[in-house]
């Protein structure tokens, strides 16, 4: 583990941890241990998606083996701050505002450092979350217009803005407007995150 990674994680009073490109936890500070309940010994070497099992604002699973944030980092895109619920050692979910730093190492690849700011009153019972997430997912199926769904599907297929405009016979400005609207509706901060959220909701 790079000294810089360790230094950043342990220099903040906020809960923070670092993961490598395979999702393995490399560093876990005292604030993370206190807030989430996992000791440093328990966290180090664990897969982040198996330990904290982050969920997005809809209550759907966000942390997974193919981490959207790591995919953005690999593409040299900067992850934006987002809201996420993380599973504590007691089994409850706790809401955080998560800011992510990306460190690039020529030998070990990308490292993500998650800085987590707990939201007031952010603890919730997992059974309640499960029920609420099903409701949120179902109610979200109709929030996008047919055209926005078309744009989203093309984004999921890897098409750039100009390609989508050509495929749909609309201007690039119109495509950008559709993208802006669907990002807002899906509470996403990037195209990649929007696609990930849409897939979890069964929209595409």
Looking at residue 32, its pLDDT comes to 97
CATH topology (fold) of 138-201: Arc Repressor Mutant, subunit A (1.10.10)
What is this structure's pTM?
Answer: 0.60
Domain 3-124 matches domain 138-201 at the CATH topology level: no
Is the pLDDT at 34 greater than 60, yes or no?
A: yes
* pLDDT tens, position by position, 126-184: 444 444 444 444 444 447 888 888 999 899 888 999 999 998 899 999 999 999 989 88
- Tokens coding 45: 């070497």
Looking at residue 104, its pLDDT comes to 83
Tokens 């990674």 appear where? Answer: 5
CB contact at 8 A, 66 and 90: no
Question: Domain limits of the chain?
Answer: 3-124, 138-201
Is the pLDDT at 3 greater than 80, yes or no?
A: no
* pLDDT tens, position by position, 91-107: 899 999 999 999 987 66
Per-residue buried b or exposed e for 142-151, using 16+ beta carbons within 10 Å of the residue's own CB: eebeeebbbb
Most confident segment among 39-48, 146-155, 185-194:
39-48
> pLDDT band at 38, cuts 50/70/90?
very high
Looking at residue 132, its pLDDT comes to 46
User: Which superfamily does 3-124 belong to?
Assistant: PAS domain (3.30.450.20)
């Amino acid at each position: 583990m790079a000294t810089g990674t360790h230094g950043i994680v342990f220099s903040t009073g906020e809960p923070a941890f670092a993961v490598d490109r395979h999702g393995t936890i490399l560093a876990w500070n005292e604030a993370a241990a206190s807030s989430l309940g996992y000791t440093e010994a328990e966290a180090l070497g664990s897969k982040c998606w198996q330990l904290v099992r982050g969920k997005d604002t809809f209550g759907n699973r966000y942390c997974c083996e193919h981490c959207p944030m790591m995919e953005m980092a690999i593409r040299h895109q900067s992850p934006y701050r987002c809201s996420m619920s993380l599973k504590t050692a007691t089994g409850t979910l706790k809401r955080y505002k998560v800011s992510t730093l990306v460190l690039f190492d020529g030998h070990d690849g990308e490292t993500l450092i998650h800085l987590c700011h707990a939201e007031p009153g952010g603890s919730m019972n997992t059974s309640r979350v499960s029920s609420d997430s099903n409701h949120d997912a179902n109610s979200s199926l109709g929030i996008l217009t047919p055209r926005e769904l078309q744009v989203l599907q093309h984004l999921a297929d890897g098409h750039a803005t100009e390609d989508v405009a050509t495929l749909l016979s609309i201007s690039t400005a119109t495509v950008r407007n559709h993208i802006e609207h669907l990002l807002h509706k899906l509470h996403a901060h990037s195209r990649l995150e929007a696609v990930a959220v849409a897939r979890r909701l069964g929209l595409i």
